[in-house]
Amino acid sequence: MQKTLTDRELLDSLEDAVETNLRRHIEVADGWQPHEQVPWSDGRNFAFLGGTDWTPEQSELSDTARLALTVSVLVADNLPSYHRELGKYLRTGAWWRWVGRWTAEENRHEIMIRNYLMLTRAVDPVALERARMAHMTEGFNRAPMHLIDVLATCAFEEAAAAIRHRNTAALGENPIVTSMAEKLAADDELQAEFFAELVSAALDLTPDQAVRAIADRVADFRVPFVELPGGGSSDEALAAAGIYDRANEGELVFKPLLRRWNIFTRTDLTEEGDKARAELALYQ
């Protein structure tokens, strides 16, 4: 029977892997600048400063692109909640430096998208601000999880975000939106890589415990979602627009990571690990 490790033991045992993967992440990450992606010359004042307020005909984005970017900025705007959720588990050493790096990258996403939406008058700024206030006031809280559960959840969430942004880029809306979405997706993929590498390290350290955590997190996985200004949830709207459909999560999110972790070919599991693995058979 394998030993079940406490979160404290896991934090200590995996810290070298965190340090190694943080260095790799920083070395390969694209240091793009959010201010360089925004067409500042398109901006003009709103009525408060003597200009004109927003009207629907000012938006030049398609409904699908407008929806995708609105969801992305609202999700990113709730960064303080996500930072808190990660920080309460990883507030130590190299782990905490990773939380800081991840937070800075996610904040960069929010800055770029929101500036673009406001400058190009792509969305109603009043409706967006009201939605942002409501979304952040409600906040984001997860049920308490153990460390490997946190890592697996984050790997799944970042993989899902990358899919959403790759599909936004594939719309070919305009060169700026395509470039922004591709940069977001590339960041998401590198973040998913970081979390996936740590899950791999945990699997080598305590296979049964890690597979159990992965199976539990697949069973209750749900990407962050928002209530939209015009009504309805982002889940439904993004699925209808072909940007992200939860019905495809098994094929696009779970299967690639389960293959990466060699879940179905591992020979180091005991009966407990095999039981957890059997719960994942649908994604083999």
Annotated binding site for Fe cation: 106, 109, 158
| DSSP code, position 58 | G
- Cα separations in angstroms, 275 against 71, 84, 211, 279: 37, 33, 9, 7
d(CA 255, CA 257): 5
Cβ count within 10 A of residue 170: 14
d(CA 131, CA 114): 13
Q: Measured at the alpha carbon of residue 271, what is the angle toward residues 267 and 273, in degrees to the nearest 5? A: 65
d(CA 121, CA 222): 31
- Return the axis-axis angle of helices 207-219 and 147-170, rounded to nearest 10°: 50
H or E segment to which residue 157 belongs: helix 147-170
**Percent of the chain as helix, strand, coil, to the nearest 5:** 70, 0, 25
Residues of each annotated binding site: 106, 109, 158
- Cα separations in angstroms, 179 against 111, 165, 171, 189: 15, 10, 11, 15
d(CA 10, CA 132): 36
Closest to 173 in 3D by CA, of 126, 241, 231 = 241
